[in-house]
Amino acid sequence: MILSGKHLQQNASNLILQDERDIPKYGSDRWILAAVIMLMMFGLLAVFSSIAFFAETRFTTASNLVGGHIVKLGIAFMVMIIFSKIDYHILARFSKYAVLLSWIFLLVTTLYGQEVWGARRSLSVGGFSFQPSSFAIVALLIHIVVMIVRKREYVKDFKKSFIPMLVWITITCALIGIEDFSSAALLFGLCLTVMFVGRVSTAHILAVLLIGAIGGTALIMQTAERQSRVTNYIDQVLHIKSDEFVLAAGYQAQQAHIAVAQGGLFGVGIGKSTQRDFLPAPYNDFIFAIITEEYGLLGAGFLLFIYTLILFRGLIYVAKRAIDEEGMLLAVACTLTVTMYAYVNAAVATGLFPVTGLPMPFISYGGTSMLFSGIMIGIILNISKQRRGVE
């Protein structure tokens, strides 16, 4: 019996629909959802404790600022739920255009953005302020995943696969790095990690790491502030006393260490921090130091455990059981982004890393970072709904 093209197409569609029905549907990963809710609650308490002095400088009250933080938490939670219901394959289709749009935002920010502490990192439109770098990070990671999947047959080819991906990564990281070197460096590392997981040539990745180290050094030498952060960190590690240690990044690190030391094992108590009056941005970049001071090493350790739970569930359960390679790589990218930001923030507060200025997802005060963290968690939850196998 000879079948027409129409019949063949209909049979193929039926096979696809049958295959989709064979894939069991689940609810969102409950552990990740519960972990995010706990982080939001933890962050609300931490922000309320650390924002009092900042409120005085803005001629307002801590309650007003915390109220704004609650609104941002609510928006981030709703965005997370919305994206958990959007098939991640749909988002992947628009990744290229999202990256191009982020480049425009980054260029405009560099030229006309709000200057805070010597850097232009945010745009203000109609009274609403946001940081385009967060949008660029999510867009680029999704696009790199899409490129790996589409170039699977020749993913190890230098010209056809590696160079095109490198172009997107280099332009995005360069635009971010002009004003925010820390975010650019972390994004660069995350992209290479996703490429490694996607079985891109290891030799090519190692070569780019070398080039990235040279480019990173050039960006560090671009401003005196970045140089001081590195030199102060080296002095701190080598226990070299310097008169400059009380300035800029050295002062921030010093006050953070005092907060961590005062916390001890059990902490000084909720709302009893003293270092919040001395630390610059204790509600954002150094919020982990305030948490350690008030809740002690036990409380800080529990907070890191929550992020580790997200890391474990995102990689071992969601990524491993994704229905396709695109879902697996997206789960890896989003999980690593959220957790690495948290770990780096904690490492800075405890002196393991030099001062970076990266927020702690769902904990630090601010809207843009929290919004896009919610988007990434939403993507992870959507992937978890389409996983294979049962728990």
Instruction: Report the C-alpha dihedral over residues 254, 256, 259, 263, rounded to 10 degrees.
Output: -120
**Amino acid occupying residue 54:** F
Q: Are 255 and 275 in contact (CB under 8 A)?
A: yes
Residue 194 lies in a domain: yes
| Domain containing residue 123 | 27-385
Structure tokens at 160: 């056809």
Q: What is the pLDDT, as a whole number, of residue 66?
A: 82
Residue 3 lies in a domain: no
Residues of the chain with pLDDT under 50: 1-21, 240-248, 391
What is the rounded CA–CA span in Å between residue 49 and residue 57? 15
Residue 22 lies in a domain: no
Structure tokens at 52: 């009092």
Residue 15 lies in a domain: no
Residue 18 lies in a domain: no
Structure tokens at 21: 């029905």
What is the rounded CA–CA span in Å between residue 11 and residue 15? 6
Q: What is the pLDDT, as a whole number, of residue 247?
A: 46
HSE value, Cβ hemisphere, 13 Å, CA-based, for 193: 16
Q: What is the pTM of this model?
A: 0.84
Q: What is the DSSP string of 227-258?
A: HHHHHHHHHHHTT---GGGGSHHHHHHHHHHH
Residue 120 lies in a domain: yes
Q: How many domains does the chain have?
A: 1
Residue with tokens 């050039």: 218
Structure tokens at 260: 């961590």
What is the rounded CA–CA span in Å between residue 2 and residue 221? 71
- C-alpha separations of 176 from 168, 189, 228, 370 in Å: 12, 14, 20, 18
Residue 190 lies in a domain: yes
Structure tokens at 16: 């696809």
The residues, ordered by sequence, that sit 6+ positions from 343 with a Cβ below 8 Å of its Cβ are: 304, 307
Instruction: Report CA torsion sign: 274, 277, 283, 284.
Output: negative
What is the rounded CA–CA span in Å between residue 65 and residue 77? 18
Q: In which order are the strands placed within the sheet that holds 128-130?
A: 114-116, 119-125, 128-130
